[in-house]
Amino acid sequence: MNGLRKTVESYWSAAEARDWAAFASTLGEDVLYDLPQTRERIHGKEKYVQFNREYPGDWHIRVQRIVADGDQVVTWVHAVVGLEEMYAITFFTGDAEGRITAITDFWPEAYEPPPGREHLVARY
């Protein structure tokens, strides 16, 4: 599965470029996309590409980190949608040909820390 990391790099690059043909080429036909926070699931390459193509707003993705181990890859990305900035953690599973077969996306909301630890942390 040495190719999955490269496939995931191509996936993010194609998404940022809005190159939907290249994006689709990274995916297996029966790719399964899960969004646990909203409890949504998309099954199949065609629907998943359309989901991304139709995502509203002027969004941009920058990969912060990629960790790869066999048929599993995890990415941490920085996203900007209009004036809003957010981070996502995405888990990818691949097949023997290095195509993406499963994606699980987590888009955590930023929140204010609880009081009482100001003396230990630096805010950024």
CATH number, domain at 31? 3.10.450.50
Query: Could you report the per-residue pLDDT of 16-67, keeping only the tens digit for each?
Result: 999 999 999 999 999 999 999 999 999 999 999 999 999 988 899 999 999 9
**pLDDT confidence of residue 56:** 86
The CA distance from 10 to 22, in Å, is 8
Number of domains comprising the chain: 1
Query: Could you report the per-residue pLDDT of 62-120, keeping only the tens digit for each?
Result: 999 999 998 999 999 999 998 899 999 999 999 999 999 999 999 988 889 899 999 99
Examine the pLDDT at 2 and tell me if it is beyond 90.
no
The CA distance from 112 to 105, in Å, is 22
Residue 115 domain flag:
no
- For residue 86, the enclosing domain spans 3-106
Residue 123 domain flag:
no
Whats the size of the chain, residue-wise?
Answer: 124
pTM over 0.75: yes
Residue 117 domain flag:
no
- Given a contact cutoff of 8 angstroms between Cβ atoms, the answer to whether 75 and 58 are in contact is no
Residue 69 domain flag:
yes
